[in-house]
Structure 1
Amino acid sequence: MSADLSAIAMPAAGPPALAKTPLLLAPFFLWGTAMVAMKGTTDHTTPLFLATVRLLPAGILVLLAAAWLGRPQPQGWRAWAWIGLFGLVDGTLFQGFLAEGLTRTGAGIGSVMIDSQPLIVALLAYWLFGERIGLWGWLGLAIGIVGISLLGLPETWLLALGDRLLQGLHIPVQLVGPAIAELWPTDQSWLSALFNNGRWLMLLAALSMAVGTILSRYVSRWADPIAATGWHMIVGAIPLVLGSWSLESQQWQQLGLSDWLALSYATLFGSAIAYGLFFYFAASGSLTSLSALTFLTPVFALLFGNLFLGEKLGMIQWVGVSLSLVSILLISQRDWLTARGWKTRLQPAVIDPALPEVPDRSAQ
């Protein structure tokens, strides 16, 4: 099984890379559907408990899978230090901000905020690892940001903005004023406004996930990526457990059978399997290409929200779905497009640099 996953995660030279897409898409499909499952339980539980239930059991399951596969356990203080930092950022902060933000904003706008993180990953990967995404990659990222914005931003705001732009007029203060006031209330301190607004919490979740994706590259140098994923979930869940125990009440008393089934799905598939696959790929492939697939998460969330929750897509949302798919195609096939001559004088052929070899720490 490990050999198969390694073969899938290795970069491909051209169109055959599409053959690996189904397994690469699995984390984003599972995250999108898990978002739908979690949203249905927010009225019956508390945010930190929701984050704990999604994280702690999933970490135990990943560790059991790692033991069954014979993966080496972390060895040495460096491995545990990186796992601890990884758990704090991608476990505690990401899941905490996500759960808190989900109770304070709609699923659509929340997905937009979270899925802005590929751009952050691209910039950090370029700075730290020398990953260059090239002209086609930047074009794909720009199209993807537009696409997910169309999926989640209020349709009335988009129509009003489009009308103003078509008329060639300046956008008046009356148009943007309410939106700014909603994002940053003036009657609260900046810290209170930040932690009580769902959109800002989702932005913080996006930043946490982006930094966590970068940290996974460093973690993989000192520990097996699958075992490290399980341990970082357990480490990250500890502050969430303490926070829920001290700050929340009635965490599970109102949960019904359907709620527990939804939480079980979010834990097993949306966390254990999805995160195990994602960080395995992140440790052995291009961070920019993998992270760009995150644009599919709101697409899956909207499609399954329509199927199970009766949510409807308008014309603008369908345009957003289409743009998201185009962005994924451009980013995932950017090297092939360049190699086939789809380049300009401004953009030479770019190939992602080889990843540094992961040291074998099993003998420690």
Structure 2
Amino acid sequence: MSPRLAAEFIFLASLWGASFLFMRQAALELGPVATAGVRVAVAAAVLLPLLALSGHWRAFRAHAARILFVGLLNAGIPFGLFAYAVLSISTGLTAILNATVPLFGALVAWLWLGERPGRWRALGLALGFVGVALLSWNKASFRPGGTGWAVLACLGATVLYAIAASYTKKYLMGIAPLATTTGSLLGATLGLAVPTLLTWPTQPVSPSAWAAVAAAGVLCTALAYLLYFRLIEAAGPAKTLTVTFLIPVFALGYGAALLGEAITPWMVGCGAIIMLGVGLATGIIDPGRWPLRRLATLPSASGWRGR
């Protein structure tokens, strides 16, 4: 990866890491549903002119129903769930739970598309879910004031992301990414329009909350998606997918520096287990390619004599 692409890669991770911070700032005044509704509306408004100028509008219209539907699974509902979660748990913890998307993605692809994982990927799935259990076990209290529902909201959002990924692979492959991205954000906007109006706050919204939700829409959604697809084209999906490992780092840093959130050794350790599981489950970490495995094909050590 060239220095320029590496810089764009880090910038993308910083944008997605900041999304949890912006969602929290906006949701404190707008509420979770309105935060998600305004975020997708802003992002769709930014991308729609680009779609019209790109020549991919016809591709969107040909598959509009499915693209609009997947927007609820891939943006509308998950954004609302994460906005709800960050009101109760730290942005860093939310980002770590968000990093389980590839784990659920591999599981859904196995159950729905029949993409059976190999032994190392299966181990990664198991390891990743063990990390999630360890991270969440002392937070899964559903009593008043507990954070169990917030943790479940995060995991529910990641499951929806995973279902949307398999749905896209099954029904929307070969369509220009700008068409599916913009169309899905438009679908999320339409799907959340009425809930957003019904849950709109009665008190005036401060400029800081408007700025936060606008930043989430323009920077962390519209710009981030464009950058993501550019990196896939330039560096390949495997390398681009490793951005998953950096997003929690930025989210933890933002939360600690700007919100005073604590970063505990337990959180870091469980996050490392989850990241290892994600690496194995997605094939980013492949022990089958390691030199140690190839040593097994060399002559036995007993065949060598020292001098």
TM-score (norm 1): 0.64
Match of 1:255 in 2: 206
Identity among equivalent pairs (%): 23
Asked if 1:310 corresponds to 2:260, the answer is yes
Question: How far apart are 1:341 and its partner, in Å?
Answer: 5.0
Q: Which runs of 5+ in 1 are unaligned?
A: 1-15, 159-178, 186-195, 345-364
Match of 1:170 in 2: none
Instruction: Give the counterpart letter for 1:339 in structure 2.
Output: R
Q: 2:70 pairs with 86, 91, 105, which one?
A: 86
Match of 1:116 in 2: 100
Asked if 1:199 corresponds to 2:151, the answer is yes
Q: Quickly say closer, same or farther: Cα 1:86–1:74, change in 2 above 3 A.
A: farther
Instruction: Give the counterpart letter for 2:152 in structure 1.
Output: W
* Per-residue deviation, residues 43-93 of structure 1 (Å, max 9, x unmatched): 22222221122111111222333445x352244865112212212222332
2: CA distance, partners of 1:288 / 1:126: 19
Q: Quickly say closer, same or farther: Cα 1:221–1:284, change in 2 above 3 A.
A: farther
Indicate the SS of the match to 2:190. Answer: helix
Q: Quickly say closer, same or farther: Cα 1:288–1:250, change in 2 above 3 A.
A: farther
Please list, as runs of the form range in 1=range in 2, the aligned pairs for 1:1-364 lying within 5 A after superposition.
23=8, 27-68=12-53, 70-75=54-59, 79-127=63-111, 131=115, 133-146=117-130, 153=136, 157=138, 179=140, 181-182=142-143, 197-218=149-170, 220-221=172-173, 223-250=175-202, 253-256=204-207, 258-278=208-228, 293-294=243-244, 296-323=246-273, 326-327=276-277, 330=280, 331-335=282-286, 337-340=287-290, 342-343=292-293
2: CA distance, partners of 1:141 / 1:25: 26
| Alpha-carbon contact 1:299-1:321 (below 8 Å) kept | no
Q: Which runs of 5+ in 2 are unaligned?
A: 295-307
Instruction: Give the counterpart letter for 1:123 in structure 2.
Output: L
Q: Quickly say closer, same or farther: Cα 1:123–1:282, change in 2 above 3 A.
A: farther
2: CA distance, partners of 1:64 / 1:76: 13
| Alpha-carbon contact 1:101-1:198 (below 8 Å) kept | yes
Q: Quickly say closer, same or farther: Cα 1:325–1:235, change in 2 above 3 A.
A: closer
1: CA distance, partners of 2:6 / 2:215: 23
Q: Quickly say closer, same or farther: Cα 1:124–1:282, change in 2 above 3 A.
A: farther
Aligned alpha-carbon RMSD (Å) = 4.0
Indicate the SS of the match to 1:42. Answer: helix
Q: Quickly say closer, same or farther: Cα 1:181–1:240, change in 2 above 3 A.
A: closer
Question: How far apart are 1:271 and its partner, in Å?
Answer: 0.8
Indicate the SS of the match to 2:83. Answer: helix
Instruction: Give the counterpart letter for 2:288 in structure 1.
Output: T
| Alpha-carbon contact 1:38-1:262 (below 8 Å) kept | yes
| Alpha-carbon contact 2:67-2:183 (below 8 Å) kept | yes
Instruction: Give the counterpart letter for 1:50 in structure 2.
Output: T
Question: How far apart are 1:291 and its partner, in Å?
Answer: 6.1
| Alpha-carbon contact 1:90-1:209 (below 8 Å) kept | yes
2: CA distance, partners of 1:124 / 1:62: 29
TM-score (norm 2): 0.74
2: CA distance, partners of 1:286 / 1:132: 23
Instruction: Give the counterpart letter for 2:74 in structure 1.
Output: D
Question: How far apart are 1:270 and its partner, in Å?
Answer: 1.1
2: CA distance, partners of 1:320 / 1:211: 25
Question: How far apart are 1:230 and its partner, in Å?
Answer: 0.7
Question: How far apart are 1:202 and its partner, in Å?
Answer: 2.3
Which piece of structure 1 moves more, 323-332 or 97-106? 323-332
